[in-house]
Structure 1
Amino acid sequence: MEEYLPLIIQLVTGAIGGNVAGKLLKNLSLGTVGNTIAGLVGGGLGGQLLGMLGMGAGAAAGTDAMDVSSIIGSVAGGGVGGGVIMAIVGAIKNAMAK
């Protein structure tokens, strides 16, 4: 179960990041459900990308316990990834509506 903790953190913070970005960028918002879904996807992708670069939770792979830096990496990667993906999807949606 412990190996899934970074992914769970990334997904939750991604959903939060997507909703925060939706509140800040009202013209790109997809609504609460849309922001949450885009945030979940972005959180997972952002966290995994940081892990592949050796900066996130992936850097701690193979260890028995998660340290504070890997948790912070998961939170940062998930939150930022969620916000970015929500903004990209919102911009594409607005461009297609015109």
Structure 2
Amino acid sequence: MDMNTLLPIIVQVITGIIGGQAVGVALKTAALGQLPKILGGAIGGVGGAAILGSLLGGGTIDPAAAATAAGGLGSVLDIKNIVGGAGGGAILTGIIGAVMGAMNK
């Protein structure tokens, strides 16, 4: 797998986990364990970044332009990857917390 493909996914997973952890702390009543917060954040991060990227027109990236921008990290540290990852991770973890909270009642 090419690093130009793998690095954005890693950024999306990490920011998704951060977003999931933030929502897990905010929703203390849902009593989420670490595993649902990590998995929900990681999956939501990749999904959220993909949705935001498609909405903002980030479907294709020119590898030559990405390599010249910021030493090759221009497409990786894109706002769509960071914000979409954190937002998607937070949203999916919140949904998981709401479902698990409703199941416990």
Q: State the alpha-carbon separation in 2 of the partners of residues 34 and 69 from structure 1.
A: 26
Q: Which has the larger radius of gyration?
A: 2
TM-score normalised according to structure 1 size: 0.83
Q: Which amino acid aligns with 1:76?
A: V
Superposed, 1:16-95 pairs within 5 Å as 16-54=18-56, 58-59=58-59, 61-64=61-64, 65=66, 66-67=73-74, 71-95=78-102
Q: Which amino acid aligns with 2:83?
A: A
Q: Which amino acid aligns with 1:84?
A: I
CA deviation string 1:32-83 (max 9, x = no partner): 222011100110110110111125xx35523431537962221100001101
RMSD: 2.1
1:29 offset after TM fit, Å?
A: 4.2
Q: State the alpha-carbon separation in 2 of the partners of residues 18 and 30 from structure 1.
A: 10
Q: State the alpha-carbon separation in 1 of the partners of residues 45 and 80 from structure 2.
A: 11
Query: Unpaired segments of 5 or more residues in structure 2?
Result: 67-72
- Bigger relative contact order, structure 1 or 2 (CA pairs below 8 A, ≥6 apart): 2
1:92 offset after TM fit, Å?
A: 0.7
How many percent identity over aligned positions? 36
- Count of equivalent residues: 96
Q: Which moved more, 1:59-68 or 1:18-27?
A: 59-68
